[in-house]
Structure 1
């Protein structure tokens, strides 16, 4: 065994130990979201803060730095090899985490837990002021984090964005969003002026929750989520937690009088879960066994939720079972009317329930606001007013309650600042991947109508999931599709679909 091989094996041992400990925290976090009694929040915050400190201690062990230096000096692995990816991405993460004092890491965890529970309560009470002190604490901590990590120019936000989309910057995000926003605004206007108005009251009839759960579970399983290696539970905000090989947890939320929320939310989280289950188990704990970025992760969830789940081909398969499951709501509804209802386009308050066309505008709004919060151009106390003003600008609507406005998302309470842009990037990545998959597999609608979901799932496993962090996101798009990231595939798909639905 040569020196480099021995050092590499020692590096993997260190990385996997830290990841194993982090997975223990993930179980506590899942339990917090799904099972924790309200009075247990403070104790859980202390537990998670301790765990965050222990994970940080392992991840910043000087032996990791020494091993990386040795490998960087002697590595003979190919640039695109899994080994080189582990070295490159481990260096990137090590340099980030070693700049953060353990005190700050623990405080971010502790405040994040308490802030989350405060957000849940404030959202129920529709009281932004109840959440404001926690938001102020979190923004201060995230600014401190950005300062510790460091950044170029005056964009502290970039230090936070890099955690979720490595290598991305505010400038690159803005360049990607600008042409997308321009075309989306035009398409929304054309749809609103079309004179076509789907009957969305179909979706707010009575859909018993136990039947919704049964129907959603069946759909998630059919598209490829393995429930022998995962489960579905209820949480205030849907999420997916890939705890480790063989253990992937999904959550959703139900409303008896809003069918799309739980159903498409479950498909979305199942898409995340299929990605987690497609990562190579033998690489657990290393970058090669972790997702490329959150933007790529979102491409998988948004693909199954929208490009597949809202397609006519999908409902040619699932509509009759839906009518049988919900006879009171759907027995007299034609499939064409149902299909138009689930693809209705109109400005609305709630991001997770937004249609494909307006969804990215919700993301752009949040991107602008959280950048301003971190830079100091926007004070937390003014967030509600700023949100309502910008929402009016984007959607010509003013939120009627904080729960329909700045309190609707969990992200800021948990300190997930820099996360939001990955949703829109995910839609763009998904369009690229879908187009390439169709070029290689043939008409995906025909496969879906033949109840063949495994061909696409296996294609995604082979072309995206198994790579882990072998490539950065933009490089992965080039490797898989042969093209650089562009808004055009997404806009072409949206224009084609909605031109037919709205007679444009």
Structure 2
């Protein structure tokens, strides 16, 4: 008879097989599924979700975890086996509180909500999405009731994405960030503005996609274990450490974003591809948290992909490929253009100086919805009011306002703050990397990313979910998540670009 740890791993393998099959169906729904397949897909996902929930919350797994926690009581808590038991036990303790019937109901509701969101965004009509979002929010509120009361009801949602983090911690971090970023934005607005008209030319879609693929390849994204497709909202998904996929989109109104979308999602994907292969089909087979995950996508997209050394390597090729549009635009002008600071309607198109303000807006709305202080029917007006207050602009329609993000259609409330936290972590890690690899900029100028990826692999990626976010950040950086390195990064970068 197999030992208890082996038994646990075998049972977890079956659970994760079901979850990963559901992930394949979800990926297909975003990419290739015909529009009429939405209702059936919702039922399929509901069945898989319910089966996975029943299997994971079984008494058998519960007893194995109880016994193994006793057996491993004196072991190194961050050994692979002890970490597997600890993380699985945490997931189990949360999962047993959620009825399988609720999981199935949520799958049906969110599947229909996704289809409604796609239509609503296309037609820029919030009323199409409104009844579905009301059901999603109702389910989220019910989900909160399954858990013991927290200091803040939002803590329960945040904990699903950032284990151990509390809403008050995030609010305090944002309270430090907000005035500093607003101050920086005001200073930039008084400086000489950047000409970026050439970024909005008639770029060939396939050529841009191909160029982006070349960048991801050079970064180190393993196409033998991944692929890229197109979807209404770019994302990364994992079915296995050896099957990590990304999507992109082409927006004629902002064509260059195709490049940065691919850099961003390949950053997520390389994290997943770098997880210890021994963690396959188990609780450790992912990133530490969504914020830590976001640190990787933002690091590759912004700290690497928008840096001058990066474009010193890639710009000659880009200029040659798109010579009819770029013309005689210099490297310096191009670099300034892709880093132009200007309040924008769309979060994923926002520059680094304004991006976190988009996140703060969403956090406030999510807390308002969860606490019952805001109604779904009022969201377009609330959204526009906050955009005017934070960024000084008002979206012209729902598609560029409240309907721009896919997350709420999937029930992902509690998620958005992880994006801003990811920015902070990326800057913290970046400072350590530059200390450990003094000639990093020179390597990037040569298009060599091997040392960078190798460093990330050994210091972060390989650990998967072994460490909670604050623990892994402190392990790498010597301190917990803090805004200071990110503020230093912004002040230095944009001070140089805008002569502040």
TM-score by length of 1: 0.97
Deviation of residue 285 (structure 1)?
Answer: 2.4
Query: Secondary structure of 1:249's match?
Result: strand
1:147 to 142, 145, 148: 145
Contact 2:271 / 2:461 at 8 angstroms: preserved in 1?
A: yes
Instruction: Work out the CA distance in 1 between the residues paired with 2:303 and 2:58.
Output: 44
Contact 2:133 / 2:408 at 8 angstroms: preserved in 1?
A: yes
Query: Secondary structure of 1:363's match?
Result: helix
Structure 2 equivalent of residue 301 of structure 1: 297
Residues 80-89 or 457-466, more deviating: 80-89
Structure 1 equivalent of residue 316 of structure 2: 320
Query: Secondary structure of 2:224's match?
Result: coil
Contact 1:207 / 1:257 at 8 angstroms: preserved in 2?
A: no
Deviation per CA, 1:300-329: give whole Å up to 9, x if none: 000000000000001001101111211211
Task: Give the superposed CA RMSD.
Answer: 1.2
Deviation per CA, 1:457-493: give whole Å up to 9, x if none: 0100000011112211111111111122210100101
- Whether 1:157 and 2:151 are equivalent positions in the alignment is no
Deviation of residue 256 (structure 1)?
Answer: 3.8
Instruction: Work out the CA distance in 1 between the residues paired with 2:241 and 2:462.
Output: 13
Structure 1 equivalent of residue 9 of structure 2: 12
Contact 1:150 / 1:156 at 8 angstroms: preserved in 2?
A: no
Query: Secondary structure of 1:243's match?
Result: strand
Aligned length: 499
Deviation per CA, 1:94-121: give whole Å up to 9, x if none: 0111101111101111111110110010
Structure 1 equivalent of residue 79 of structure 2: 81
Query: Secondary structure of 2:318's match?
Result: helix
Question: Could you list the runs of 4 or more consecutive aligned residues of structure 1 that deviate by over 3 angstroms after TM superposition?
Answer: none
Instruction: Work out the CA distance in 2 between the residues paired with 1:212 and 1:42.
Output: 34
Instruction: Work out the CA distance in 2 between the residues paired with 1:255 and 1:362.
Output: 20
Structure 2 equivalent of residue 135 of structure 1: 133
Residues 7-16 or 230-239, more deviating: 7-16
- Whether 1:442 and 2:438 are equivalent positions in the alignment is yes
Structure 2 equivalent of residue 26 of structure 1: 23
Query: Secondary structure of 1:233's match?
Result: strand
Contact 1:287 / 1:468 at 8 angstroms: preserved in 2?
A: no
Residues 400-409 or 76-85, more deviating: 76-85
Residues 300-309 or 273-282, more deviating: 273-282
Structure 2 equivalent of residue 503 of structure 1: 499
Instruction: Work out the CA distance in 1 between the residues paired with 2:148 and 2:390.
Output: 32
1:340 to 333, 336, 339: 336
Deviation of residue 390 (structure 1)?
Answer: 1.0
Long gaps (5+) in structure 1: none
Structure 2 equivalent of residue 58 of structure 1: 55
Deviation of residue 257 (structure 1)?
Answer: 4.6
- TM alignment of 1:202-213, pairs within 5 A: 202-213=198-209
Contact 2:395 / 2:401 at 8 angstroms: preserved in 1?
A: yes
Query: Secondary structure of 1:251's match?
Result: strand
Structure 2 equivalent of residue 216 of structure 1: 212
Long gaps (5+) in structure 2: none
Residues 28-37 or 11-20, more deviating: 11-20
Instruction: Work out the CA distance in 2 between the residues paired with 1:14 and 1:175.
Output: 41
- TM alignment of 1:478-489, pairs within 5 A: 478-489=474-485
